[in-house]
Amino acid sequence: LRANSSALRVEGEAWAGSPCDERLCSSLPLPALIPVTAVCLGLFLVGVAGNVLTVLILRRCRELKTTTNLYLGSMAVSDLLILLGLPFDLYRLWRSRPWIFGQLLCRLSYYLSEACTYCTILHITALTVERYLAICFPLKAKVVITKRRVKAVIGTLWAFALLSAGPFFFLVGVEQRDNQTDFSRECRLTPLATESGLLGIMLWVTTSYFILPVLCLNVLYGLIGRALWRSKVRPQGPNAALREKGHRQTIRILAVVVLAFIICWLPFHVGRIIFINTQDTSMMLFSQYFNIFALQLFYLSASINPILYNLISKKYRAAVYKLLLPRRSGERAFSATRDTGGYTETSTSIKKEYITPF
């Protein structure tokens, strides 16, 4: 997504009439470039800090090492890799040429961004499938869904995403635009991309990675909602209330994550469709600015998940507090144990570990 939008943005640079000389070669006028840069830098700092915290929490807190959180931890790694491409995008906004980072980083920045985008989508879909099995077929899920199998699934998702994005490694490269001087060197689409038709094929692949998972998620959430409603009408077993509460907490987190995913990534597809299907100069200029807005939403999607976990989940907030302030967290835990006469909820925690993340 980001790779496509960035590439199309660079291709459309001439439409914007932006200044380009040895001192400055920006894709936007300065009054627009400064706030865009400020927003992107803020997203970078918040996203890197939040996702690093998420990875550390899920690695160190034993009570949070559930199958669901394995997916969330892997998604945090994917988001971190996406955010590593943000400095290169900012460089291209300020100086679309010359490209000074070499051929490998040009191709790798696009490729990793595209691959991690695919990977995040696949993780969200797989996580929803797991929750569907856990809620609709709980007995079977306890046997089928194990940490070992989930780790294998995560490895498969990463491999499939990396392979699917493989052609993007060859669709971009360092090209010289107008002359043979170093100033003309640009990280952009190669002639092979447009002449071979491979770019159009990959755009369809990227669009399919968005539309098909969204349709799948809608169906699964419909089935999950029906199962939760039935369990509410007909409670099953002494722990039905606990299971239902845990499932609802999980679905609340996943629903917000999926909603953020749709809101943040839909503009990329809209902007790309507008750009590809118009030849009007004014529409090209509108498309360029729209893609800049979509670029910020893209990085928002890579930064927002830890914030959502913190807002929704008490367990996540407690884990963050424990990680950042271990001494105060230990004092609070000791105080809580003393106030309850040394009571611990070991059995309840074991049951909830399977039911709900965070």
Q: Which domains does the chain have, with CATH numbers?
A: 2-97+117-136+203-355 (1.20.1070.10)
Full DSSP string of 84-134: TTHHHHHHHHHB-SS--SHHHHHHHHHHHHHHHHHHHHHHHHHHHHHHHHH
Rounded-to-integer distance, Cα 274 and Cα 262, Å: 18
Which pLDDT band holds residue 241 (cuts at 50, 70, 90)?
A: low
Model's pTM, two decimal places?
0.80
Between 4-18, 115-129, 205-219, 258-272, the lowest mean confidence (pLDDT) is in: 4-18
Q: How far is CA 245 from the centre of its chain?
A: 27
Q: Read off the pLDDT of residues 98-142 as tens digits, 9 standing for 90 and up.
A: 888 889 999 998 899 889 989 999 998 998 899 889 888 888 888
The predicted-structure confidence for 190-234, as pLDDT tens digits, reads as follows 887 777 777 777 778 888 888 898 889 888 888 887 877 776 645
DSSP class of residue 187? E
d(CA 83, CA 50): 11
Give, in degrees to the nearest 5, the angle at Cα 141 between 120 and 78. Answer: 15
Q: Taking the CB of residue 308, how many other CB atoms lie within 10 A of it?
A: 16
